[in-house]
Amino acid sequence: MTDAADQLRPITAPEWPRFHRAMVTTFGNALSGPYTETPPPIAELERSLALVDGDRIAATAGIYSRELTVPGAVVPMAGITWVTVAPTHRRQGLLTAIMRRQLDEVHAAGREPVAALWAAESAIYGRFGYAPAAQRGGWRGATERLRLRPDVDCGTGTVRLVELAGFRPAAVALHERLRRTVPGNLDRTDGWWERELRDDPEQRDGGPPRQLVLHTEPDGTVTGYATYRLTSRWSERTEPEGTLTVGEVRAGTATAHAALWRYLFSHDLVRTVEAPNASADDPVQHLLADPRAWHAAPVDSLWVRLVDVGAALSARRYPARIDLVLEVRDRFCDWNDGRWHVWGHPAGAFCDRTDRDPDLVIDIEALSAAYLGGVSLAALQGAGRVTEISPGAVVNAATAFRWPVAPWCPDHF
């Protein structure tokens, strides 16, 4: 497959319909939506890859240029997407060739110290150095039990349904402020907001239109927003069994957050509320009078891969002081292999090559998993993924790498 791998190349705009058809066919999706014939505005065709085989495209891949919030900072990120290999071309090294080409090019450009993706299949990407670094909560509960504690303060603001024209500017401003405080959050340019808020009937999987909500203080300041869908269902005995599916809830104050969730839990004709993509550590779980009413089924969301260990570890902040040497094992990107001196604290950090003896030995997957502050290096040591050389180094590193805010990525790409 070496010859075929050498034929990987970016596509042109006229090739998009074939490229798109190859993707949706491999994923088993319907060929529908507004961008079957022309690329969406967020597409970066210069960062795409395709293997053209006759009149068909047998493999696809792409990269989005995004910004990723990491502990205490924001870094450029290569968002890996569109990755497919047709069944006719599997087991021939194409996926490895795609991963190799993407990481080589990202490293050579030197702009993005981190790459990340959403894994369609979780057994695939570990061998290329990607690891799950954030979770979504998969929350679900019966409406009759979802009541807030009597001491919860919902403030004096107003929750109201709004149209898209009024929702978007307020949500954009609030998201831009809040996303910088939550590791795993991504930036949203105008193109990404357009994608986020599109609500074409063919994209709803038969569901109803999305509802948009703002929380406004008495002085008119918008301090929260939410999106959701309410699907009506009825039992054979004509009892309501509707489901309210939460899209996103963001709030700048505790009272706005509580008021939005009270609103979402208070709909008539609804028997179940679901929030599949909410943070696994959303504070709503601490607002409930019955903590067992809100059931979590956490699952991985964002998978992270450090492309440049030195730049990535220098960019983030550390809530506890760290001054350690990590011996990093990276079989796929040998430029990361070796010993790195990490020094940092809450206000700054640096990481550079060193010839000092290591305090810890760690593989790139484990380091990538811990990067956003949500996965414990001590737990990884327990799994045999981290080896302690200097006594106490794991406790020091695990404390320093953790972050008070759990990583969360609400943006699927």
Active site residues: 125, 413
For the beta carbon of residue 274, count every other beta carbon within 10 angstroms: 17
CA-to-CA distance for 298 and 373, rounded, in angstroms?
A: 17
Which of 44, 18, 57 lies closest to 105 in space, CA to CA?
44
Contact between 378 and 347 under an 8 Å Cβ cutoff? The reply is: no
Give backbone dihedrals phi and psi of 395, rounded to 5 degrees, phi first.
-60, -45
Among residues 179, 195, 271, 279, the alpha carbon closest in space to that of 234 is found at 271
Task: Decide: helix, strand or coil at residue 33.
Answer: coil
229-239 burial: b if 16+ Cβ within 10 Å, else e: bbbeeeeeeee
Written as one letter, the residue type at 164 is L
> Could you tell me the sign of the dihedral formed by the alpha carbons of 192, 198, 200, 205, in that order?
positive
Structure-block tokens of residue 113 = 């110290």
Candidates 285, 284, 230, 278; CA nearest to 261 is: 284
